[in-house]
Structure 1
Amino acid sequence: MNILFVHGNYPAQFVHLAKALAADGHRVVFLTGRKDPEVWPLTGVEVRRFELHREVSSEIHPYLIPMEQAVLQGQAVLRVLDVLAQEGFQPRLTFAHGGNGLSLFIRHLFPETRLIAYMEWWFRDETSHWCFPSYEFDQRLRTTMRNSIILQELEQCDVAVTPTSWQQQQFPKHYKDKIKVIFDGVDTSFFCPTPVKGELILNGLKCVQPLHIGENSLLLTYATRGMETLRGFPEFMRMLPPLLEALPNLEVVIAGDDRCVYSQAPDRADGSWKQALLEELGNRLDLGRVHFTGSLMYGEYQQMLNRSDLHVYFTRSYVTSWGLFQAAACGASLMVNRDPATNYVLKGDQAYWVDLDDPQHLVDCATKVLKSAPERRKNIKQSYLKSEWALGNCIASWVELINAQLKV
């Protein structure tokens, strides 16, 4: 059977499903806008790339910028699919990442394909305001228009999938039956409680030389795709001076990139929250004990989670990061802020819950937990991940959905 995946990134949320379907002997073609997909090869998966033929017009109405971007992406996808069709490729199933226009025109070329849209978010005022420093009336109207693309793709697909019930709740109620909940899956054979003996060695992309964390050091960790307000990066950084002063053997590791993925950059030339916070905190921050590693390879990231004496996950009301699920699977000691985006992931006693808008509470909680770390290390860690989010169960749910679509 011919199966098509379409995503702006690669392999992204489709990594496990694409691998599983290819392993079953199907011809799997993955169409992506990523420029370097070869850095992450998937056995049995054929990769094709699409490129936009031009940028968005500078003369277009500001509210319509995302819509023109979506049309350009839909056209770019269609041009590559037309080549595939001429080669004889006709997909029985198509999985498309929704919300950015990638699947807008697929039906015009492949009317018989069963189109499954992967939908992440529906923009609402009560959550969207966290993405902008100022959510004025004009920005609210722009955000409302952003949903037009999502609506188009929801209408065209045969069925949609979103990873969590929290995300499903964001969409209009009349789409609830069309949007199924299937999580991406955590590989619990990899992300699991694993003792780290001796020193921890990390060699992230931003490490000039390997970072060594001694086994007697206290370790506070934070990991993120982007250092930004939506993921509580400023609040985390502002915690550090009093913690470093109170705990002389504390080391801090911050894994991730100096960029904004979901929320707006600060109003400065470099657009960097990292640099803004370093300047704000100045010499109150002991940079000899605060380590920015950049992105980590999965093996080192898993070791970091297992070695961490306290792993911090902060977020505002938006899509919950994979990182929280992965840390829970490792049984990490977690400090998490109370929010609808986090409350459903962990039970009350599985995290140290904090108020992200109470700076003193953050410091007091972290200090207490870190001081007790040497004693807690004697305990055997257990995974906190719900079984429904384990990879095997998620793939089984995908297979059930696929079989139902093939019977239509």
Structure 2
Amino acid sequence: MRVLLIHQNFPGQFRHIAASWAGRPGWQVLGLGRESAPGLPGISCIRYRLHRPPNREQHHYLRQMEQAVLHGQAVARALLGLKAQGYRPDIVIAHPGWGETLYLKDVYPDARLIHFCEWFYRNQEADWAFDPEFPSTFDDRARVRTWNALHTLNLENCDAGVSPTRWQHSRHPAAYRDKIAVIHEGIETEGLAPDPEARLTLKDGTSLRAGDPVITYVARNLEPYRGFHVFMRALELIQRRHKRCHALIVGGDEVSYGKRPKDAPNWREKMLREVSLDPARTHFLGKLPYDVYRKVLQVSAAHVYLTYPFVLSWSMLEAMASGCLLIASRTEPVQEVVRHGENGVLADFFDREAIAARTVEALEAPADFAGLRERARIETSRRYCRVEAVARFGAFLDVEGNAPVARADSAEVAAAAGGAFPG
């Protein structure tokens, strides 16, 4: 069985299935990514390079599409080279969001193509219309509608798709949902667990340990899509009410989603201008090595996770696997996993008062929330572990490794793959 995995940042979400399938007798796994892709030890990876940058004068509605064409062209060139050497994949699994697979079927028409269907933009009922503090303009909405041309082409081109959550699945057009299964890509839960002896010493000499009143917040980058602006406003209230708590804030100053602030270099600096925080108890840690990140979660007394109605973050699941008490936004992707009062605490995304109150309660009476922590770790996070993900993804393929072209009902597709994760 020859499996080709395509991701511009290979391995990306395919880390676990790539490692598992590479160890199967008779299976050949090949990765393909951009020249900056980190790769995965033990798996060969072909890297491609765009032959030119996008045209600066391109209409801004079409910039993403031009980027996609450049990615698709570069991948097609790499695939034509592989084909000339005799390589023929049986199945291709790809994240198509950057356009890599636009021309794959023109090179390998007989290969079964499965897309990782992460997101389909909506102008209503999702991220773009969610936050009144940052209202979208007609120009924004027109640009997003044009972006979806790429995602619609991707849905049309693939034989089947996989979406990590029911919420993400539901964002795709109804006409294509029956070819998309709901299977999470899995997180590395094996190395995540509570440690009552955990201790973290910061660069300024501050030493924190499990049991201390520590608030944690994690995002790839600190920005409104992950509720950073709301968290900072809530933190101001928390520090006024709890004089000993410390906040550990993990994330970079770049932009993963949305836009940069107009009046500051980044959202961290903008929010520090707006709120009044105790600098001795507010620790911006940037992006961390995994071992340090794990310690941050282990010393957490209250982990705040906020998000727009958008892609669910791995960090929320990793926090639950680490035994954190989750204080999270009552938004669709979160509510698929977190049940208020059972495995976490929910508050309205915009309600800084409620977020602050729930956090202070957690800091002052940690024993009252022990059951929630345990259920989050034992009953919830394990559904999203890599072993479950690999098994469900494998069940999605038939014995020959071919993806089903389509099913009559998306629920049947999910059931064939082991069922959607219960929420």
- From the superposition, tell whether residues 363 and 396 of structure 1 become closer, same or farther in structure 2 (CA, over 3 Å): same
Deviates more, 1:370-379 or 1:130-139: 370-379
Deviates more, 1:164-173 or 1:245-254: 245-254
Q: Are the aligned partners of 2:210 and 2:301 in contact in 1 as well (CA < 8 Å)? A: no
Q: Are the aligned partners of 1:100 and 1:150 in contact in 2 as well (CA < 8 Å)? A: no
1:360 aligns with 2:353: yes
CA distance in 2, matches of 1:379, 1:338: 16
User: Where does structure 2 lack aligned partners over 5 or more consecutive residues?
Assistant: 405-423
Letter in 1 for 2:330: R
CA distance in 1, matches of 2:384, 2:61: 37
Instruction: Choose which of 334, 345, 348 in structure 1 pairs with 2:337.
Output: 345
Matched ranges for 1:231-380 at <5 A: 231-268=226-263, 270=265, 272-281=266-275, 284-349=276-341, 350-373=343-366
1:188 aligns with 2:181: no
- From the superposition, tell whether residues 3 and 244 of structure 1 become closer, same or farther in structure 2 (CA, over 3 Å): same
Q: Are the aligned partners of 2:218 and 2:250 in contact in 1 as well (CA < 8 Å)? A: yes
1:42 aligns with 2:40: yes
Deviates more, 1:374-383 or 1:392-401: 374-383
Q: What is the match of residue 121 of structure 1?
A: 119
Q: CA deviation at 1:99?
A: 2.6
Q: What is the match of residue 205 of structure 1?
A: none
CA distance in 2, matches of 1:226, 1:296: 12
Instruction: Choose which of 208, 218, 222 in structure 2 pairs with 1:223.
Output: 218
Q: What is the match of residue 145 of structure 1?
A: 146
Letter in 1 for 2:157: Q
Letter in 2 for 1:227: L
Q: Are the aligned partners of 1:130 and 1:230 in contact in 2 as well (CA < 8 Å)? A: no
Instruction: Choose which of 38, 59, 62 in structure 1 pairs with 2:60.
Output: 62
Q: Deviations over 1:251-290 (max 9, x none)?
A: 11011111210111111362x0001111222xx2111211
CA distance in 2, matches of 1:379, 1:95: 37
CA distance in 2, matches of 1:265, 1:252: 24
Matched residue SS, 2:156? helix
Deviates more, 1:75-84 or 1:379-388: 379-388
CA distance in 2, matches of 1:234, 1:36: 31
Q: How many residues align?
A: 396
Letter in 2 for 1:329: A
- From the superposition, tell whether residues 244 and 23 of structure 1 become closer, same or farther in structure 2 (CA, over 3 Å): same
Q: CA deviation at 1:250?
A: 1.0
Q: Deviations over 1:233-261 (max 9, x none)?
A: 01111122332233222111011111210
Q: What is the match of residue 409 of structure 2?
A: none
Identity %: 31
- From the superposition, tell whether residues 269 and 200 of structure 1 become closer, same or farther in structure 2 (CA, over 3 Å): closer
Q: Are the aligned partners of 1:18 and 1:28 in contact in 2 as well (CA < 8 Å)? A: yes
1:81 aligns with 2:82: no
Letter in 2 for 1:32: G
- From the superposition, tell whether residues 130 and 78 of structure 1 become closer, same or farther in structure 2 (CA, over 3 Å): farther
Matched ranges for 1:160-179 at <5 A: 160-179=161-180
User: Where does structure 1 lack aligned partners over 5 or more consecutive residues?
Assistant: 203-207
Q: Are the aligned partners of 2:8 and 2:33 in contact in 1 as well (CA < 8 Å)? A: yes
CA distance in 1, matches of 2:146, 2:50: 22
CA distance in 2, matches of 1:377, 1:158: 45
Deviates more, 1:328-337 or 1:11-20: 328-337
Matched residue SS, 1:138? helix
Q: Are the aligned partners of 2:248 and 2:285 in contact in 1 as well (CA < 8 Å)? A: yes
Q: CA deviation at 1:406?
A: 3.4
Q: Are the aligned partners of 1:184 and 1:394 in contact in 2 as well (CA < 8 Å)? A: yes
Q: CA deviation at 1:42?
A: 2.5
1:393 aligns with 2:385: no
Matched residue SS, 2:320? helix
Over aligned residue pairs, what C-alpha RMSD do you find?
2.4
Q: What is the match of residue 13 of structure 2?
A: 13
Letter in 1 for 2:172: F
Q: Deviations over 1:182-218 (max 9, x none)?
A: 1111333223x3223052246xxxxx57763145631
CA distance in 2, matches of 1:43, 1:190: 19
Structure with higher RCO (Cα < 8 A, 6+ apart): 2
Q: Are the aligned partners of 2:195 and 2:210 in contact in 1 as well (CA < 8 Å)? A: no
CA distance in 2, matches of 1:308, 1:54: 46
Matched residue SS, 1:225? strand
